[in-house]
Chains A and B, each alone.
Chain A
Amino acid sequence: MTPLQDRTLFRFFRDVLRHSVTGSLRYHLWMGSLTFLMALGTYAYLIQLNKGLGVTGMSDYVSWGLYISNFTFLVGIAAASVMLVLPAYILHDVDFSKAVLIGEGLAVTALLMCLAFVTVDMGGPHRLWHMIPKIGYFNWPQSMLTWDVIVLNGYLALNLLIPFYILFSHYRGRSPKKALYVPFIMFSVFWAVSIHLATAFLYAGLPSRPYWNNALLGPRFLASAFAGGPALMILILHFIKQNTDFPIAEETIRKLALIVTVAAQINLVMLGSELFKEFYAPTHHSQSATYLFFGLKGHKPLVPIIWTAILLNVFATLLFTFHRTRNNKPILLVSCTLLFAAIYLEKGMGLVVPGFIPSPLGEIVDYFPTWIEIAVTIGIWALGFFVFTLLVKAAIAIEKEYETHHRSEPH
């Protein structure tokens, strides 16, 4: 251990690196398999770079697919970390004081994955510098995509900065100054909402695609994010609690479960409202929803996916709603998994792909991802797990050391 007085920024990163390369055999096996999957993804991506996006299942008809679906879903996961930040820093709920670092780590990870998914979807990733203001041509404020670039990068910066400041202070055995970081936290709470709204507006701002051009899209994005994100968080916190001696309060998990419950219920209400609008008096604009839920002119590849998602969603929400099932830990873990899967299916493939079908000229062309797309997607998810493991491992090590040496009240 580096003595406290010698702890500089350089030593901080060196120690973090040391934490990440040392660990149990199980840890090395885990990181090794993730590295293998990342290598597989890289291989697939190189093929795509070389041959063009034609190696994916996308076409002029369905021009966004698995990549942008994952991107959209992950923006929600990133935004959901606010559900830990808000109680921990602003409502001063001590139960959240430890978990919040994990939440911020999750946000950083999700954002990195978002950026990776957008980049692999680009036809000319090496021309991305065209987006840099002044040097390139940043079409702000007209293009919603530029708004999304700003809010995502801003949110990434905030979520790197705040935990870094807190961890670095703890690393040096000091308690972080509230006046320095609380304003940024306030900011990040609003920012979290904006990243998901901006992403929803990306779609909702297109009158050419009636399926997306819908005022409920933004709120629904938020509701599903605040259900799916904390559900994933519960699973992660449970895992950390089981496998480390990092003090995660049982109360944190209970409160998170309550947040998930409310968000999942609101999400279902909105789903009902959407279904009513599309199917009570179907118009020409309901064709995408028809394609998704029932199939159109014999094309029904998404029908099993969406019904699986809806059944899982309703079932999980019921399990959350009843106190008996919510307060039973094994059942809670199952319902979190089901809900997470449901939202991934519904918001990923269920949102992006049907928006393109039928095409604006009424043609129906299905979309099926190719192995290249799937391999790249798996690679990026492996990257996410990899980064998240590193971040959490280092954070836990620093926090534990701080706790043992300074038994003061939590920052």
Chain B
Amino acid sequence: MSRTKAFLFGQTAEHQPPEEYTYPLLPPPQSTQAASASPSSTSACAAPSSCGCQPPKPTAVDTPYKALLKADLQEAEPADGISRREMLQHLLIGVAATAAVASGCSENLEKGSLNWEEYFKKNYRVMTAQERTDTVQRLERLAQMRNEKKPSIQTKNAIPGVLYGYAFNISKCKGYMDCVEACIKENNLDRKSGMQYIRMFEIEKGKFNVNLDHADGTYHHEVPAAGHVYMGTQCFQCENPPCVAVCPVGATWKEDDGIVVIDYDWCIGCRYCQSACPYWARRFNWHEPVVPNTEVNPIQHYLGNRKRKKGVMEKCTFCIQRSRDGKLPACAEACPTGARVFGNLLDPNSEIRYVLANKKVFRLKEDLGTEPKFWYFMD
């Protein structure tokens, strides 16, 4: 099979629809999970070198954030029930409202006050459930006021007992880039700058090395080219992510299901995380991103594909808005060759666990100790 990179040339892809993958993304029933995960932590993850994954913690659906950030929550909500921030916020909303009333326009009044509340909202990690609902409502309303397609923004938490992992079959990939195209559409990536989370590299057979020294990330011809292999990169969702440690404002963190996310409204755009990433996985909005209204994917997650603005960082989240719904990430679903394997590392029956146990897998730059949850293998 030989095809051009259809989406790059503006044609429609004409390949057979992807098979229906049925990897179990949801955790196995509690009993088996406890049986399989508790004996030893090495059995929870069959990576060749320990990936540092923890056996699932028996926490209730709603509590992981609180457990994680107890200290922050306590700080943010003092005993008297109103924090300094809230006082400041109310004061400023008052000022804004007065100004807007003076201008005598109720639409502007609403917009102004919504924007003020948005400006003074907290880091998503320390928001209460109510605050999360409120900001989602504000964001949806603001989108409506801008005459954009109304988004539905989820705030679904990590599912207990799930740790996502990805494997990439170098022998199968043909470099079609259907994954890249699907990712752009699914995640509302900036069309103007041509942002891509996934990079595809073409490497001459015999010149393959893990440093990608002879890899061409800009190939633009009919694929597969004879004598070449293809290899995709994206965010590897490290268990030990250097980008998270360096962020001065804690705008980026690792969720309980192992996905590294960014709070786009909290990021100050210093780009320190971009320097810290050894896999070139982070993308910055150098301009105001543009997604034509008709192409907006309205099914969104607060930490995933919702609207970004200029001056903030973004990255692949294993399509958090899909994966937490039990679906495959768009790239894995779009791949026509079956080169992409995604699943729950904590589920011993998942395909990803099969690959890790039975194939000779490797990861990029293992020497850095970042423990990526993204493996490469060849048949």
Contact = CB atoms under 8 A, between A and B. Distances in A.
Contact of A137 (B193, B217, B250): B250
A52 B190 CA distance: 14
Nearest to B278: A208
A282 interface: no
Contact of B286 (A54, A135, A359): A54
B286 A58 contact: yes
A25 B58 CA distance: 77
Contacts of B246: 142-145, 205-206
B65 interface: no
Contacts of A125: 268
B248 to A, nearest CB: 4
Contacts of B88: 135
A145 B251 contact: no
Contacts of B278: 207-208, 360
B267 A124 contact: yes
Interface string A327-343: 00000000000000000
Nearest to B269: A123
Interface of A: 51-54, 58-60, 63-64, 118, 121-125, 127-128, 130-131, 134-139, 142-146, 149, 202, 205-209, 284, 355-356, 359-363
Contact of A362 (B75, B213, B275): B213
Given A131-B268, A360-B277, A124 B248 contact: no
B267 A206 contact: no
B272 interface: yes
Contacts of A127: 266-269
8 contacts: A52-B288, A53-B311, A63-B275, A64-B271, A124-B312, A130-B249, A134-B75, A361-B279
A53 B75 CA distance: 34
Interface of B: 72, 75, 84-85, 88, 123, 125-126, 193, 199, 201, 211-213, 215, 217, 233, 242, 245-251, 266-272, 274-280, 282-288, 310-313, 365, 368-369
A314 to B, nearest CB: 30
Given A123-B269, A123-B310, A136-B249, A64 B275 contact: yes
A54 B289 CA distance: 11
Contact of B212 (A51, A136, A362): A362
B310 A52 contact: yes
Contacts of B279: 360-361
B212 A135 contact: no
Given A143-B245, A361-B279, A124 B311 contact: yes
A137 B268 contact: no
A341 B260 CA distance: 42
The secondary structure that dominates the A interface is loop
Nearest to A363: B217
Nearest to A145: B248
Nearest to A147: B248
Given A139-B247, A139-B249, A206-B242, 4 more contacts: A54-B193, A128-B268, A206-B246, A356-B275
A86 B248 CA distance: 32
Contacts of B193: 54
B217 A122 contact: no
B215 A139 contact: no
A144 B273 CA distance: 11
A149 B248 contact: yes
Nearest to A130: B249
A118 B271 CA distance: 11
B268 A145 contact: no
A205 B273 CA distance: 12
A122 B242 contact: no
B215 to A, nearest CB: 6
Contacts of B201: 361
Nearest to B75: A134
A94 to B, nearest CB: 43
A123 B311 contact: yes
Contacts of B212: 361-362
Contacts of A207: 242, 278, 368-369
| Residue from the set B233, B278, B368 with the largest chain A CB neighbour count within 10 Å | B278
Please provide the 3 A-B residue pairs with the shortest distance between their CB atoms, ordered closest to farther: A123-B269, A123-B311, A54-B286
A122 B75 contact: no
Contacts of B285: 52, 123
A54 B310 CA distance: 9
A196 B53 CA distance: 37
Given A63-B275, A123-B270, A137 B126 contact: yes
B270 A122 contact: yes
A134 B72 CA distance: 9
Contacts of B245: 142-143
Contacts of A143: 245-248, 272
A124 B275 CA distance: 18
Contacts of B268: 122-125, 127-128, 130-131
Contacts of B125: 137
B85 A135 contact: yes
A362 B202 CA distance: 13
Given A359-B280, A360-B277, A362-B212, A134 B368 contact: no
